[in-house]
């Protein structure tokens, strides 16, 4: 939806700017080279992409997601006080978060949607307004932590990084800080709204 506007805006501004600054030739070349590099990128990353979805499929088949979900459960009790322990909503949330953690984007989204559906079932009066569990769940997803960011590393490798994974600790630190701040702000905003 939003991308419709952004994409059109990007093109219009580019064309306008190129005409004004006299860079129409560069612009014409950019159309070709941009589209070309998208295809190159896609093919260059395909191998790694397949390898990792393959490896992660082994984890999934072996039940690693369920196993981690069990470990995660005690933490979740504090984050979602409205949730009944052992409810289906709680299970779906755990599964979604672990899938994100393992970088299983394709598995995480359907799990997350079913978690949202369960959350809505628990609170049928909410209508079209989000309750605090829903907000926190979506916030957790926007700031999700990924153990091995393979896609980033693949692109780094393509552009000749000496060791594509050497900044992994920096990713973890940044990711954890972002997650903590996002969750804390969600909790703070929520409290302010309740009082106000």
Partner 1 sequence: MDKLGSWALPITILLLLLFGIFRKVPIFDTFTEGAKEGLKTSFTILPTLVGLMAAVTMFKASGALDLLSGALKPVTQFLGIPEAVTPLILMKPISGSGSTAIFTQILKQQGPDSFSGRIASVLACSTETAFYCVSVYFGAVGIKKTKHTIPAALMGDLTACLIAGLAIRFIFNGST
Q: Which of residues 43-82 bind partner 1 (CB under 8 A)?
A: 45-46, 49-64
- Burial of 162 from C-beta contacts in 10 A (0-12 / 13-18 / 19+): exposed
Q: Which of 72, 76, 122, 179 binds partner 1 (CB under 8 A)?
A: 179
CB-CB neighbours of 177 under 10 Å: 11
Q: What's the min distance (Å) between Cβ of 144 and partner 1?
A: 5
How many angstroms separate the CA atoms of 49 and 43, rounded?
Answer: 10
The answer to the question of residue 122 lying near partner 1 (CB under 8 A) is no
Q: Which of 41, 72, 76, 79 binds partner 1 (CB under 8 A)?
A: 41
Q: Which of 78, 81, 125, 159 binds partner 1 (CB under 8 A)?
A: 159
Query: Between vectors from CA 189 to CA 185 and to CA 192, what angle results, nearest 5°?
Result: 140
Q: Give the three-state DSSP class for 41.
A: helix
Q: What's the min distance (Å) between Cβ of 150 and partner 1?
A: 9
Instruction: With contacts defined by CB under 8 A, name the span among 68-76, 79-87, 170-178 that binds partner 1.
Output: 170-178
């Amino acid at each position: 939806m939003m991308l419709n506007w952004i994409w059109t805006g990007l093109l219009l501004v580019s064309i306008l700017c190129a005409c004004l600054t006299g860079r129409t030739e560069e612009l014409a070349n950019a159309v070709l080279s941009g589209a070309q590099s998208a295809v190159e990128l896609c093919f260059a990353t395909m191998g790694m992409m397949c390898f990792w979805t393959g490896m992660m499929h082994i984890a999934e088949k072996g039940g690693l997601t369920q196993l981690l979900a069990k470990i995660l459960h005690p933490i979740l009790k504090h984050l979602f006080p409205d949730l009944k322990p052992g409810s289906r909503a709680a299970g779906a949330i755990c599964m979604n978060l672990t899938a994100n953690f393992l970088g299983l984007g394709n598995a995480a989204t359907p799990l997350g949607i079913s978690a949202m559906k369960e959350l809505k079932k628990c609170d049928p009066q909410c209508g079209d307004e989000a309750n605090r569990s829903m907000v926190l769940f979506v916030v957790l997803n926007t700031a999700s932590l990924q153990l091995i960011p393979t896609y980033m590393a693949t692109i780094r490798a393509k552009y000749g990084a000496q060791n594509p994974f050497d900044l992994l600790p920096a990713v973890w630190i940044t990711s954890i800080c972002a997650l903590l701040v996002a969750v804390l702000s969600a909790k703070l905003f929520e409290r302010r709204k309740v009082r106000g």
